[in-house]
Structure 1
Amino acid sequence: MAKDISPPGPDDTASAPSAPGAAAGADGADANTDVPQMSYEAARDELVDIVARLENGQVGLEDSMGLWQRGEALAAHCAQWLDDAEARLSD
């Protein structure tokens, strides 16, 4: 079984991930605060779920926008995690 390995960071505390498409505050700023603490695998799995939901086309416009924003944050986190892992391997 593969072990979840989080990238090194200033805050090593783990938090439970939000449900995909979780509602944000009025300005949408706090919807993705858990993303930096997620493992690569958890972020990737949630991103796959979001893509499937969006491709299904049965999500309303407002929910689709929230899912899209969450997906963007998750994709950026995964890309950063992979960049950090590559940098550690090349050191």
Structure 2
Amino acid sequence: MGQRFEANLMNVPRPKNLPGQNEPYPHVLIGDEAFALKPYFKRLFPYRQSRRDVQKKNYNTRFCRARRVVENAFGILAQEWRIFY
């Protein structure tokens, strides 16, 4: 899957404007520090950076909230169909 993302072979939608923004933003994957930074991948700011910068701390808070929603959705799918274990 990672190789397909690298080669732009995944059927990812084109970048779109976020609400209230004029600049298009690409669709991305989210994860933790175990993954390398790539153009299609976002992760948290390190704790040392985020504790001093309010914007980075806010980003990390919202990032964690989004990640929790995704993890809960996969948990529900796994319980319902048992194929995502």
TM-score by length of 1: 0.41
Instruction: Name which structure has the greater RCO, CA cutoff 8 Å, separation 6+.
Output: 1
Higher strand content, 1 or 2? 2
Higher helix content, 1 or 2? 1
